[in-house]
A and B are shown apart, each in its own frame.
Chain A
Amino acid sequence: MRTEHHLARQGFHGSRRSFVTGLSALGGTGWLAKLPEAGAKATDQTPATMADEIVIDLAGGPDNLDPSLTRSTRDWSVLHSVYDSILLLNDEGELVPLAAESFGALDDVTYAVTLRAGLRFHDGTPVTSDAIERGIRYVQNSEGPAAANFQVVERVEIMDDLSARIVTNEPAAWLPSQLAVWFVLFPESATPESLGRHPVGSGPYRFVSLEPGNEVTLSRNPDYTWASPKGVALAETARFRFVPESTTRLADLSTGSANIIASVPNDAISAVEDAGGEVIQTPVLGSAFLRIATDAAPFDDPRVCIAINHAVDVDAITESLLGDQSRRLASIFPDERSIGFDRDLAPFAYDPERVRNLLAEAQLADGFAVRLQFAGGERDDVLQVIAAQLGAVGIDVTLESTELATFNGSWRDPESAPLRLVTWRPVFDPHTLLSLMFASTGPLSRNQDAMADDLIRQGAIEPDTASRAGLYRELGRHFQESPPAVFLWNLTATYGIKGIQGRWKPRGDEYIIPTQLKDVTT
Chain B
Amino acid sequence: MRDLMVADQHQGRRSRPRGGFFWSRTPVRRAGTFWNASLLPLAAFLAIAIPARWLFPSDPASQELVGRLAPPVMFGGDWVHPLGTDGLGRDILARIASGAGLSLSVGLLAAVASAAIGITVGMLAGSLGGIVDVVATLIGELGLAIPTVAAGIVLTATLGQSLPNLLGILIFTGWISFARIIRLQCRQLVRSEFVQASYAIGADWPWVTVKHLLPNIRAIAIVLLCQQIAAVMLWEASLTYLGLGLPIERISLGGMIKDGQVQIYVAWWVSLFPGIAIALAVVGFNLAADRFQTAFDAAIR
Give CA–CA (A271, B268) in the complex, Å.
12
Q: Contact between A22 and B269 (Cβ–Cβ < 8 Å)?
A: yes
| A14-B65 contact, Cβ under 8 Å, with A25-B74, A245-B261, A403-B156 | no
Partner of A385, one of B65, B71, B157: B65
Enumerate B223-265 residues with CB–CB distance to A below 8 Å.
243, 247-249, 259, 261-265
Q: Which of B76, B247, B264 is in CB contact (< 8 Å) with A18? A: B76
Interface string of B63-78 (1 = CB under 8 A from A): 1011011110011110
A417 at the A/B interface (Cβ < 8 Å)? Answer: no
Interface check A321, CB cutoff 8 A = yes
- B-contacting 9-mer, from A41-49, A142-150, A214-222, A262-270: A262-270
Binary CB contact string for chain A from 392 to 407 against chain B (1 if under 8 A, 0 otherwise): 0000001111110110
Q: Which of A157-165, A376-384, A500-508, A510-518 contacts B (4 or more CB under 8 A)?
A: A376-384
Q: Roughly how many angstroms separate A191 CA and B97 CA in the complex, as a whole number?
A: 58
Q: In whole angstroms, what is the CA distance A15 to B157 when docked? A: 38
The yes or no answer to B87 lying at the interface (CB within 8 A) is yes
Q: Is A274 part of the binding interface, using a Cβ–Cβ cutoff of 8 Å?
A: yes
User: Which of these, B68, B70, B160, B265, contacts A247 with CB under 8 Å?
Assistant: B265
Does B266 have its Cβ within 8 Å of any Cβ on chain A?
yes
Q: Which residue of the partner chain A has the closest CB to B276?
A: A26
* CB-based nearest A residue for B62: A388
Q: Is the CB of A268 within 8 A of B249?
A: no
Contacts of A402 in B (CB 8 A): 160
**A141 contacts chain B at the CB level, 8 A cutoff:** no
- Residue numbers in B under 8 Å from A317 (CB-CB): 65
Q: In whole Å, how far is A21's beta carbon from the nearest beta carbon of chain B?
A: 7
CA A401 – CA B249 in complex, angstroms?
8
Q: A13: which of B65, B71, B259 is its contact (CB, 8 Å)?
A: B71
Q: How large is the interface on B (under 10, 10 to 19, 20 to 34, 35 or more residues)?
A: 20 to 34
In the bound complex, residues from chain A placing their C-beta under 8 Å from that of B161 are: 376, 401, 403
CB-CB under 8 A for A13 and B70, given A376-B243, A406-B160: yes
Tell me whether B265 and A268 are in contact (CB under 8 A): yes
The residue in chain A whose Cβ has the minimal distance to the Cβ of B264 is A247
Cross-chain contact A14 with B261 (CB below 8 angstroms): no
> Are B262's CB and A18's CB within 8 A?
no
With known contacts A21-B75, A245-B261, A377-B243, A15–B266 Cβ distance under 8 A: yes
A16 lies within 8 A of chain B by Cβ? yes
Q: Smallest CB–CB gap between A319 and chain B, Å?
A: 8
Within 8 A of A (CB), among B68-93: 68-71, 74-77, 87-88
B267 at the interface (CB under 8 A from A): yes
Bound CA–CA A378/B77 (angstroms): 31
Query: How far apart are the CA atoms of A127 and B42 in the complex, in Å?
Result: 72
- In the assembled complex, how far is the CB of residue A419 from the closest CB belonging to chain B, in whole angstroms? 14
Q: Is A320 an interface residue (CB 8 A)?
A: yes
Task: For the complex, give the distance between the alpha carbons of A15 and B268 in Å.
Answer: 9
Chain A 230-273 against B: per-residue CB contact (8 Å), 1 yes, 0 no?
00000000000000011100100000000000000101101100
**Contacting residues, chain B, for A265 (C-beta < 8 A):** 262-263
Beta-carbon nearest neighbor of A269 in chain B: B266
Cβ-closest chain B residue relative to A254? B265
Instruction: Rank and list the top 5 A-B pairs by shortest CB-CB distance, nearest first.
Output: A271-B265, A14-B266, A14-B267, A320-B65, A267-B263
Known interface pairs A13-B71, A246-B262, A388-B62; 20 further A-B residue pairs with C-beta atoms within 8 A, sorted by A's residue number: A12-B267, A13-B69, A13-B70, A13-B267, A14-B69, A14-B263, A15-B266, A19-B265, A22-B272, A247-B264, A250-B265, A265-B262, A267-B262, A267-B266, A320-B65, A320-B68, A381-B87, A381-B88, A399-B248, A403-B157
Instruction: Please list the residues of chain B having a beta carbon within 8 angstroms of any beta carbon in chain A.
Output: 61-63, 65-66, 68-71, 74-77, 87-88, 156-157, 160-161, 243, 247-249, 259, 261-269, 272
Chain A interface residues toward B at CB < 8 A:
12-16, 18-19, 21-22, 25, 245-247, 250, 265, 267-268, 270-271, 274, 316-317, 319-321, 376-377, 380-381, 384-385, 388, 398-403, 405-406
Mind listing 10 A-B residue pairs with CB under 8 Å?
A19-B268, A22-B269, A267-B267, A268-B266, A271-B266, A384-B63, A388-B61, A401-B248, A401-B249, A405-B157
